[in-house]
Structure 1
Amino acid sequence: MPSGIMPTPMPSNVDGLDRVVADWEPEDVATFAMWLQRFNSDVEKLAGRPLPRT
């Protein structure tokens, strides 16, 4: 895989994440998702592939 390219999450990764946050309050999950989106956007920006891509 070329440097700076994040792989598409595999279903097992998403399933694992669902298990981790299963007992979290919905607002905590929403806050985590917001920060994760920001993190991913910044990673992509540093890799020269800013989101959203067209």
Structure 2
Amino acid sequence: MLHWSLVFLVLALVAGVLGFSGIAGASANIAWILFVVFLVVWIVSMVMGRGRKV
């Protein structure tokens, strides 16, 4: 998921440099959503993993 977030971020940067503001904005939003989902899944897995240690 982090990989796809970085891919969309690079796509947004390239589109922004080339002047495609609509594609850049959409790609930046997708990258942001994927990054937030990644963080939530990562935090949940860290919390769940710590509770199972014996």
TM-score by length of 1: 0.49
TM-score by length of 2: 0.49
More helix by share: 2
